[in-house]
Amino acid sequence: MIITVTLNPAMDKTMVIDGIEIGEVNRADSIRNDIGGKGINVSKVLKSFGTDTLATGFLGGMIEEPFRKELNRMGIKDQFISIQGNTRTNIKLVDRKNETNTDINEPGPLISGGEIEKFIGFYKETVKKGDIVVLAGGLPPNISQDLYGRLTRMAKDKGALVVIDAEGEPLKHALVELPDMIKPNEKELASYLGKAVLTEEEIVQAARSLVEKGIQKVLVSRGEKGSIFATERSVFMGIGLEVEVKSTVGAGDSMVAALVFAEKEKLSDSETLALAQATGAAAVATEGTEACTREDVERYLADAREKIKEVR
Ligand SMILES: Nc1ncnc2c1ncn2[C@@H]1O[C@H](COP(=O)(O)OP(=O)(O)OP(=O)(O)O)[C@@H](O)[C@H]1O
Ligand SMILES: [Mg+2]
């Protein structure tokens, strides 16, 4: 089974407004609500690839029920732990007139000690040999920064593969436990290395050294510049595809889904990168928080294959 973990999910509320005026009453032309959070985004894209996932984490409050309904409707197995606190709503203001996107994100609910224990109990019982566990996104405000590290170790002890998409302290703690796959963007990788920016060469070097330490697959995404993929066998560079950018929300998460799918299908390293790049491109060419479809991805695959070269 593929298990995605989203500890601080959110209902993403997107409002389209024609010219926001701060301090005034504004009227939204359209509204949409999407369930979100990095792990859930990964589940959505995998579903569109025809792959089932089990999604877990914490859900509570007024939007717990509509959230669960939506997971159900999408065919994502819902194993979220019910909590006392309120799952957050993140607001995205799309201003068509000024062509701006403004996000207002809530911190998320506090999780009690008992709720964490319940989650860990479920996790230990559920994760089995051969599973792929995706730990993605930030942690709720009061959760210990080493939780991804602990969850990585627990899953590895069971013989499951672990994929991390996180940043800052949670990423640092997770890397100590040597997850099997990671997908930092270049900023997250630079920050991990204590640098402001990284050159292409420095990214290749850093990815290689993480692989040498024991992380089997390191995929570094670089926005429009593309991505770099290092494994024990090779390092490949993917040049960014030219696409009409509709929304970059969830492009990285879509890439994580591609990485997981490629692992499950045992694709070669260059095919894995081609699929990841095509999926990233399809995601940015898709409006809002909607997941890209398999047909979208197929459309970019040939171009993605041509834009891959091996780094010697
Ligand atoms: N402007 C763009 N043009 C073309 N491709 C893009 C663009 N932005 C992103 N991509 C594709 O999506 C991939 C992931 O994007 P990015 O590096 O921004 O991930 P991220 O920062 O982890 O995103 P997030 O966490 O917000 O989902 C890139 O490697 C690239 O293939
Ligand atoms: Mg990301």
Query: Which pLDDT value is given to residue 248?
Result: 85
C-alpha distances in Å from residue 277, one per residue of 69, 220, 231, 236, 249: 31, 11, 16, 12, 15
- The angle subtended at Cα 7 by Cα 4 and Cα 8, nearest 5°, is 125
Q: Which of 34, 180, 253, 296 is catalytic?
A: 253
Per the annotation, the verdict on 253 as an active-site residue is: yes
Q: How far apart are CA 244 and CA 241, in angstroms?
A: 10
Which among 35, 42, 6, 5 is positioned nearest to 263, based on CA atoms?
A: 42
Among the bound ligands, the one closest to the CA of 185 = 1
Mutational pocket test of ligand 1: of 248, 286, 290, the residue with most ligand atoms within 8 Å of the beta carbon: 248
Write the CATH number of the domain with boundaries 2-6+36-86+109-310. 3.40.1190.20
Nearest atom in ligand 1 to 251's CA: 27
Q: What is the pLDDT along the chain (312 residues), one digit of tens a residue?
A: 999 999 999 999 999 999 999 999 999 999 999 999 999 999 999 999 999 999 999 999 999 999 999 999 999 999 999 999 999 999 999 999 999 989 999 999 999 999 999 999 999 999 999 999 999 999 999 999 999 999 999 999 999 999 999 999 999 999 999 999 999 999 999 999 999 999 999 999 999 999 999 999 999 999 999 999 999 999 999 999 999 998 888 899 999 999 999 999 999 999 999 999 999 999 999 887 778 999 999 999 999 999 999 998
State the residue for tokens 């109990």. 121
Query: Which pLDDT value is given to residue 308?
Result: 97
Q: Whose CA is nearest to atom 19 of ligand 1?
A: 252
Query: Which pLDDT value is given to residue 26?
Result: 96
Find the 185 Cα to ligand 2 centroid distance in Å. Answer: 6
Q: Is 227 in the pocket of ligand 1 (CB under 6 A)?
A: yes
Domain ranges for the chain: 2-6+36-86+109-310
Q: Whose CA is nearest to atom 2 of ligand 1?
A: 224
Q: How far apart are CA 283 and CA 248, in angstroms?
A: 7
For residue 165, the cross-strand partners are: 136
Q: Is 137 in the pocket of ligand 1 (CB under 6 A)?
A: no
In this structure, are residues 193 and 174 in contact, taking their beta carbons and an 8 Å threshold?
A: no
Q: Whose CA is nearest to atom 8 of ligand 1?
A: 223
Mutational pocket test of ligand 1: of 284, 289, 296, the residue with most ligand atoms within 8 Å of the beta carbon: 284
In this structure, are residues 77 and 54 in contact, taking their beta carbons and an 8 Å threshold?
A: yes
Q: Is 245 in the pocket of ligand 1 (CB under 6 A)?
A: yes
